[in-house]
Chain A
């Protein structure tokens, strides 16, 4: 085979098949020919374009004469590729008569190192994800066990505490006259403590049920205003001890709403009794209903101490305590608002609080207007 033929074959290969960037430019810097690979890479036939149309020039300093001055060294240039991802090539520029040849090659060693590192990163990430999911599953199981234990303990303790409560009640009523005053006081303490323990156990049972996904809502169409009226009345006797007025104005007509009546009563009782618990003597607690397009909002406002902003976020977390003290020495289990929140969320509603220190707080919840 003649030397010329071999050269022709090589040129044919470079233009047809070789995976290198090959451009021929004229002295004016216009591309007059490009091989197939470069056309495929850029998605353009490139004829008549300039180098600036092919190369990403981030700094605005790349120009043909500058590249030609450094023509004996490999120059790193980024090509605009069809995919949008820049591709880096190592270029060499050659001047031949009126033409400039530009060859761009990939550094396969660099690519190999990159691929190896990417592989390691991917391996590590997927292993961490496996580890995380395994730990999550274990924590979930542990949480279920905790809830089971909590439920069992609370359930089994409820009966004996109930007995203590009823017998102390009985003794106070029946034997109050024959007991010394000091002993009556002891009995009163026993009754008060067992009452608190019973409410704590009931709350714990609720938490255990809700946490293990057993918030069974028995939905029925109910009159929300009537529930509020009833609850306000029940709490008024407690409020009377502090000369607090519970005000509820239900002027606007309200359609019946789909809800679990007992659970919403629990929500109302918690919010109204909390308001009474934290209100100063002689103030008012106001309950309001407002109807929106899709929701009804119930709000309970007090004229209490208000809750500092940094403490409001944790209010609805179990066992959260704030710096706000009850005004009559009443105790809290720290679970009520967490339970209330779960019940409201279970109904597809929202719950929140607005508060201003020194002015009071407004707790509100919404329920979807489904009848």
Chain B
């Protein structure tokens, strides 16, 4: 299978380096793709996301330890910084999004990649990161007055925490559109929009891209 510039050979070399914790090798591979002017969308979806989904699966099937999964995540977060000079150079269209993880959610990579997708599409995105207390999130919403809030959830056990935050957001900002997404929804909770009319569930980065482009 070939996804743009990312051949199976490149993907497998990257995944092996990622699992082995070979940060320098991953950096080199990504830099080579950037030199070949890979579209950032491809890089995010077909390399970073695909590899991290596979790392997640290997962990769930007890093939790798949680330490390896964390190291792979940390390396990927580091790789995103290679792309930032390109992402933040995009022309801004005057729209703002706040992206965050809920309290107790320590997996922030998916949320951060979503925030970067907003930047790529000319939005200003403010990323609050892992384990963000609801009060801090509400304070930033008050401060930035965004056009949209995005909440990322990786661990299904944090679903209650997400619902609590949505209640609080609904109390203070009833009209604010909210996007939710993340790997947690593979295990359930996809009907979340039925309970909260302002909420849209987007399963993947590809769905997010279409959502942003539809405006």
Contact = CB atoms under 8 A, between A and B. Distances in A.
Q: Do A and B bind each other?
A: yes
B89 interface: yes
Binding site of B, secondary structure by majority: helix, strand, loop or mixed?
helix
Contact of B108 (A118, A123, A138): A123
Contacts of B78: 126
A122 interface: yes
A123 B66 CA distance: 16
A192 interface: no
Contacts of A130: 80-81, 84, 112, 115, 127
* Residue in A115, A122, A126 with the greatest tally of chain B CB atoms within 10 Å: A126
Contact of A127 (B73, B85, B127): B127
A129 interface: yes
Given A123-B129, A126-B77, A133 B85 contact: yes
B204 to A, nearest CB: 21
Nearest to B74: A122
Contact of A137 (B70, B77, B80, B88): B88
B67 interface: yes
A157 interface: no
A134 B67 CA distance: 30
A105 B67 CA distance: 18
* Residue in A115, A116, A122, A124 with the greatest tally of chain B CB atoms within 10 Å: A122
A119 interface: yes
A131 B81 CA distance: 10
B130 interface: yes
A317 interface: no
B67 A126 contact: no
Contacts, number: 53
A120 B84 contact: no
Interface string B59-94: 000000011001001100110110011001100000
Nearest to B115: A130
A126 B80 CA distance: 9
B81 A120 contact: no
Contacts of A129: 81, 84
Interface in B81-131: 81, 84-85, 88-89, 106, 108, 112, 115, 119, 127, 129-131
Interface residues of B, number: 22
Interface string A206-248: 0000000000000000000000000000000000000000000
B92 to A, nearest CB: 9
B88 A122 contact: no
Contacts of B106: 116, 119-120, 123
A137 B116 CA distance: 14
B179 to A, nearest CB: 19
Given A120-B106, A122-B74, A130-B112, A137 B127 contact: no
A119 B107 CA distance: 9
Interface in A89-120: 115-116, 118-120
B139 to A, nearest CB: 16
B81 A127 contact: no
A129 B106 CA distance: 18
Given A115-B67, A119-B70, A119-B74, A133 B81 contact: yes
Nearest to B129: A127
Contact of B129 (A124, A134, A138): A124
Contact of B88 (A115, A119, A133): A133
Nearest to A122: B74
A362 to B, nearest CB: 41
B88 A134 contact: yes
Interface string A59-88: 000000000000000000000000000000
Interface in A128-167: 129-131, 133-134, 136-138
Contact of B77 (A122, A131, A133): A122
A127 B66 CA distance: 22
B81 A115 contact: no
A134 B88 CA distance: 6
* Residue in A124, A129, A130 with the greatest tally of chain B CB atoms within 10 Å: A130
Contacts of B67: 115
A123 B115 CA distance: 15
B70 A115 contact: yes
9 contacts: A122-B77, A123-B108, A127-B108, A129-B84, A130-B127, A131-B127, A133-B81, A133-B88, A137-B89
List the 8 closest A-B pairs by CB distance, nearest first.
A137-B88, A133-B84, A126-B77, A127-B129, A123-B130, A122-B74, A134-B88, A129-B81
Interface of B: 66-67, 70, 73-74, 77-78, 80-81, 84-85, 88-89, 106, 108, 112, 115, 119, 127, 129-131
Interface of A: 115-116, 118-120, 122-124, 126-127, 129-131, 133-134, 136-138
Given A130-B84, A130-B112, 4 more contacts: A126-B81, A127-B108, A130-B80, A134-B88
